[in-house]
Amino acid sequence: TVGKKEDKLGIRSSDTCTLVLENCKVPVGNVLKGAGNGFPIAMNALDNSRIGI
Kindly compute the dihedral angle of the four CA atoms of residues 45, 46, 47, 48, in this order, to the nearest 10 degrees: 50
> Structural domain boundaries of the chain?
2-50
Helix, strand, or coil here: 25? Answer: coil
Give tens-digit pLDDT for 1-53: 898 988 888 887 888 999 998 998 989 888 888 888 889 988 988 888 777 66
Instruction: Please tell me the predicted confidence (pLDDT) of residue 52.
Output: 67
Report the distance separating Cα 43 and Cα 33, nearest Å. 14
Rg (CA), the chain: 15
Structure letter (DSSP) for residue 28: G
Instruction: Please tell me the predicted confidence (pLDDT) of residue 53.
Output: 61
